[in-house]
Structure 1
Amino acid sequence: MYDNDSPMHRQLSPVSTPAPSGVSLAEVLELPVLEGTSVLAGRDGLDGLVSSVNVMEVPDVLPWVRPRELLLTTGYPLQSHDAEDLIAWVNGLADAGVGGVGIKLARYVEELPAAALAEADRRGLPVLALPAEVSFDDVINQVLTRVINQRADTLARAEQVLQDLVGVVIAGGDLDQVCQGVVRHLARAALVTTMDGRVLASAGELPEDLGTLPGFDPTGRFLVETELPGMSSEFSGTHRFVARIPGGGAGGGVDLGRLVLLREDPFTAEDNHVVGQATTAAALAITKQQAVAAVEGKYRGDFLLDALLGRAGDPERVASHAADLGWDLRRPMAVVVAEAEAPDDDDPVARTLPERFRAAWERAVGADDELTAVAGFSQEVVVLLGVPAELDPAGVTEKVRAMAGVVHGRGGGGRRTFATGISRTITDLADLPRAYAEARKAVQVGRRLHGERAVTHFDALGVFRLLSQVEDRAELASFIAETLGPLADDTSEEAEDLRTTLTVLLDNNLNVALTARALHFHYNSLRYRIGKLERLLGPFTTDPRLRFAIMLALQARQLDSP
């Protein structure tokens, strides 16, 4: 039904504001005071809205008319107009968005020219012939009474929705139940998302794969950054409205998320009042949820941090208390550390990012195992991941990489860049502090070697594991400088080219033919480069100890390079 390649998806209309408020002109014509009124032209515009009434008794009325206004006239200002003047008058009213024109014929104007009526038909501007005996005061009173009553009904409806939805929250309801209430009152389907597009709750008729809906990416994340709030759009008969869920504080604070509504009928300005009450209830539910989560999260996080640092007591006490919190620590586990980049100081949502990052990991991990311990510490999230006995380090890494992918994508996580480290599997909680240190080391080294999104297992660090343990970084830098000589610090293109040649040559165990093919060099050109390298570094092709030192220095330089 919501295939991205279907014509429905391609027919997404331009974004627009909700339909304005008012009463349709067709409804206005049903009022008793307008009985006997006939439509002279512009019948296609009778569905247009009327929100006010004005009387025209001067020729230059155009500067004073307003959109959705019903304009009444005796015809007196038009008696000196010829057909061309009346055509221009019709176009001016249509351009101003006037809802319709009611005129009393016979007294000053016998009839309107056919050309002017044809132009009104073309522009969809309703032209009405009013009964001669009708009183303009009566028309104004009855039309405005109808408009005001409609607005009163809208406000009453909005108040009822607010009472209903706030009642749901006060009674202990969650965001899903708020969405269900919104569906009862307003839409076919409703979703609440975070400010990074992760869907927190939903209700109503939605496709199983949200990625097929316009405005969502393939992972099912709502595109908050491009789908503007307060705007309505239409795709093949389905209308969508996006609303802000405002936070508290001065000036409204930081938005808590978005409310996305879907239904068959266009959204109107009257619906805007109701949507406003729905977002108030959603904000209340989110704030309540965040407050509870903050208290619970701090308690759980403090306990887990004590366990990771070895100060929570003996293993049995730790396992027992963890079970009370819903975590199973009596099984083989690996410690997973996900460390996010720090947000900019001027980021308006920086305060909420750590909690959203933790929640995204909890959601991703919980889909696989609800008994897994997850806690957040500032820019770091720690997961005590249960590991089946048959799963080797490569298998654990792939499992964690899949979870990290969910957090990066559909899980949200504040759309933050983060690196992930994995410890060796442990079977004794007494080893938890060591495993935590291993995971943190894997994060640090993995980020330096493979970038900001690296997922690195401690066992995969190889020699880097040993190099990273060297506490005296000055001594390590001295070793690199003495071993690599001018190639240690030279950042020129020639030096980088020589380092690449040296690395590939060593990786190919000094096989000149293989290295030449890998670097796309001529055999003799590579021989020349090897000679140049030996003049810089010494006879590494014949001295295995020197060759080992150079290999170690290249690895250490890679570890410490910016």
Structure 2
Amino acid sequence: MEDDGEDQSEEDVRREVEAALAREYRFQEQLSRALTADVPEQGIAEVLHDHLDLDVAVEDPFGRLLARADGDATHPRLTRSQRDHLVDAARRVAGPLRVKDLLVSVAASHGTLLGLLVVHDPDRTLEPAHKKAPELDAQPGSPRAGALHAIGLATGALTLHLLHRRNLARTELRLRHDLVETVLLECEQDDLEAEVERRVGRASALDHDLTGPHRVLALRPRHGRWPDGSAVGDLMEHAARILDMAFLGTLRGQTAILVCRPPAAWLDDSGTAIAPWAHRPTTGSPGAGRTGSDEPRSGPAWQVLHDAFTEVLQDAPAIGVGSFVDRPEHLPRSYREAMQALTVRSRQTDTRGLITFEDLGLYRLLATPEGRRGAGAFVEDWLGSLLAYDAERQADLVHTLGIYLDQGGNYDAAAAALHIHRSTLRYRLQRIRELSGHDLADTDTRLNLHVAVRAAVVAEPAVLPGRGPLVP
């Protein structure tokens, strides 16, 4: 009888192991089919959800939800700090990691994070059940061992899919890079129609409609450094997703060039671009057409675009925006204008911010290559003695002059803007008259001095190395 009991026990164990193996084979087969589905991430999440009877989510490296298999609309999400800590920990251990109610497995390749597989386990069913003998939970065929193995298999399948998608994206990125380089070239007039058709066709093959409203954006990260460990294309793609904005992009040096359709919020019901994308800000809007401050800026409506790139880069970049075009052959012009705007923005004391070509005002003339070279001689003629005095004495007469002219010659307003006493301002202005020989009461003289102060920002060679003339 005792032998019969032992035989029965062994038979039960054998059947449990066989059942577990059969279940695992079915699970692997389902994973294989999921990889060939239209949305593999969703398929993998659903297969794992059915296998574990737990809620499952798939996130991209930035925390964006790619797929979810559950019925809970309030599925918990990882914070940025939790994700960063998790990825760092995952480099040192194998298998899923616990973050409160979540069991998270990292899909990565050669140290590069591709995505996260997140299992919601609030009851901690995947924790060791035998505290005194946790090795029992690791035995083949045990529910916990099978569950952790399934998570590992699902993570492996997800890694293969995301890596394949990343490689495809990089190939497409190279094609897009080549297309952008072509699009930014002027079309030959004797072959204009055919060349436009070729460019539109190539863009269409990359799922981008090159016809219709576009602007070119020129973007440079603060201090010219892109975030470590992230591909520039991935960062731009993330920002574009936030804005729901189709684009083609390339990288020239440390400057990202983006050929962009309007963000979804700036299209009406018929798909027509609306302000601010299609039109310049009205004259009365805040910041429109301002050239009398150290920080030329576009209307507040553009802030949403700058905020999206700031969020992705984790610091505010400099962005120049070319004017609105509705024909592919006009994109080279929008590119030149975007670079002019970026030049002006980058040469301000605080380089962070966005400026459109429409808002450049006087800088539209000065920010061309020819204008910048001519500006140097003009600045030297009108401000040379003051610049020399400032350099020798560590003074700030050019800055004082600029603020005074910005305030229309109003002593009280200029003194307040400079945070100095009115008498101090009078003394500085007297020194400016003596050193320069200019009569600040003369209208033409004031105009030329004001233009010279503005021109100093973009002059080549640099007139004021390392800073613009107007510092708040």
Same fold (TM over 0.5): yes
The answer to whether structure 1 residue 295 and structure 2 residue 171 are counterparts is yes
**Corresponding residue number in structure 2 for 1:86:** none
* Residues 264 and 506 (structure 1), Cα distance of their counterparts in 2 relative to 1, 3 Å cut: same
Q: Which aligned pairs between 1:133-282 and structure 2 lie closer than 5 A?
A: 161-186=27-52, 188-207=54-73, 213=76, 215-216=78-79, 223-227=82-86, 228-229=89-90, 230-234=96-100, 239-247=101-109, 252-266=110-124, 267-268=126-127, 270=145, 271-282=147-158
The answer to whether structure 1 residue 406 and structure 2 residue 406 are counterparts is no
**Corresponding residue number in structure 2 for 1:483:** 382
The answer to whether structure 1 residue 393 and structure 2 residue 280 are counterparts is yes
* Residues 402 and 317 (structure 1), Cα distance of their counterparts in 2 relative to 1, 3 Å cut: same
Q: 1:448-485: per-residue Cα shift (whole Å, max 9, x none)? A: 32745422201112222222214486664454345334
Q: What is the CA–CA distance in structure 1 between the aligned matches of 2:353 and 2:374, rounded to whole Å?
A: 28
* Residues 322 and 245 (structure 1), Cα distance of their counterparts in 2 relative to 1, 3 Å cut: closer
Output the amino acid matched with 2:78. Answer: G
* Residues 539 and 233 (structure 1), Cα distance of their counterparts in 2 relative to 1, 3 Å cut: same
Q: Which aligned pairs between 1:426-465 and structure 2 lie closer than 5 A?
A: 426-449=325-348, 451=350, 453-465=352-364
Given that residues 362 and 374 in structure 1 are in contact (C-alpha distance below 8 angstroms), is that contact kept between their aligned partners in structure 2?
no
Output the amino acid matched with 1:460. Answer: D
The answer to whether structure 1 residue 284 and structure 2 residue 156 are counterparts is no
Given that residues 376 and 382 in structure 1 are in contact (C-alpha distance below 8 angstroms), is that contact kept between their aligned partners in structure 2?
yes
**Corresponding residue number in structure 2 for 1:335:** 216
* Residues 207 and 172 (structure 1), Cα distance of their counterparts in 2 relative to 1, 3 Å cut: closer
* Residues 398 and 517 (structure 1), Cα distance of their counterparts in 2 relative to 1, 3 Å cut: closer
Q: 1:37-56: per-residue Cα shift (whole Å, max 9, x none)? A: xxxxxxxxxxxxxxxxxxxx
Output the amino acid matched with 1:433. Answer: P
Q: What is the CA–CA distance in structure 2 between the aligned matches of 1:517 and 1:397, rounded to whole Å?
A: 25
Pick the structure with greater CA Rg: 1
- Using the size of structure 2 for normalisation, the TM-score is 0.69
Q: What is the CA–CA distance in structure 1 between the aligned matches of 2:153 and 2:406, rounded to whole Å?
A: 66
Q: 1:72-110: per-residue Cα shift (whole Å, max 9, x none)? A: xxxxxxxxxxxxxxxxxxxxxxxxxxxxxxxxxxxxxxx
The offset of 1:534, in angstroms, is 1.9
SS in 2 for 1:191: strand
Given that residues 245 and 259 in structure 1 are in contact (C-alpha distance below 8 angstroms), is that contact kept between their aligned partners in structure 2?
yes
Q: Which aligned pairs between 1:338-353 and structure 2 lie closer than 5 A?
A: 338-340=219-221, 347=228, 349-350=229-230, 353=231
Given that residues 57 and 67 in structure 2 are in contact (C-alpha distance below 8 angstroms), is that contact kept between their aligned partners in structure 1?
yes
The answer to whether structure 1 residue 552 and structure 2 residue 451 are counterparts is yes
- Using the size of structure 1 for normalisation, the TM-score is 0.59
SS in 2 for 1:256: strand
Q: What is the CA–CA distance in structure 2 between the aligned matches of 1:522 and 1:461, rounded to whole Å?
A: 32
SS in 2 for 1:192: strand
The offset of 1:506, in angstroms, is 0.6
The offset of 1:492, in angstroms, is 8.6
Output the amino acid matched with 1:245. Answer: A
* Residues 173 and 385 (structure 1), Cα distance of their counterparts in 2 relative to 1, 3 Å cut: closer
**Corresponding residue number in structure 2 for 1:541:** 440
Q: 1:255-296: per-residue Cα shift (whole Å, max 9, x none)? A: 323323223221336343332222111111111212332333
Q: What is the CA–CA distance in structure 2 between the aligned matches of 1:259 and 1:384, rounded to whole Å?
A: 32
Given that residues 191 and 201 in structure 1 are in contact (C-alpha distance below 8 angstroms), is that contact kept between their aligned partners in structure 2?
yes
Q: What is the CA–CA distance in structure 2 between the aligned matches of 1:447 and 1:199, rounded to whole Å?
A: 35
Q: 1:183-234: per-residue Cα shift (whole Å, max 9, x none)? A: 22336433333434444444424546x8xx46326xxxx7522345443133
Given that residues 397 and 422 in structure 1 are in contact (C-alpha distance below 8 angstroms), is that contact kept between their aligned partners in structure 2?
no
Output the amino acid matched with 1:310. Answer: E
Output the amino acid matched with 2:104. Answer: V
Q: 1:349-375: per-residue Cα shift (whole Å, max 9, x none)? A: 35xx1231242244234x36xxx4433
The offset of 1:166, in angstroms, is 3.5
Q: What is the CA–CA distance in structure 2 between the aligned matches of 1:384 and 1:441, rounded to whole Å?
A: 17
**Corresponding residue number in structure 2 for 1:375:** 249
The offset of 1:156, in angstroms, is 7.1
Output the amino acid matched with 2:233. Answer: E
| Range with bigger deviation, 542-551 or 504-513 | 542-551
Output the amino acid matched with 1:507. Answer: D
The answer to whether structure 1 residue 527 and structure 2 residue 408 are counterparts is no
Q: 1:289-325: per-residue Cα shift (whole Å, max 9, x none)? A: 1233233343344334312213584435544554555
SS in 2 for 1:257: strand
CA RMSD of aligned residues (A): 4.0
**Structure 1: gaps (5+ residues):** 1-31, 36-137
SS in 1 for 2:49: helix
The offset of 1:540, in angstroms, is 4.0
**Structure 2: gaps (5+ residues):** 91-95, 128-143, 263-271, 283-297, 467-472
Aligned residues: 396
Output the amino acid matched with 2:307. Answer: G
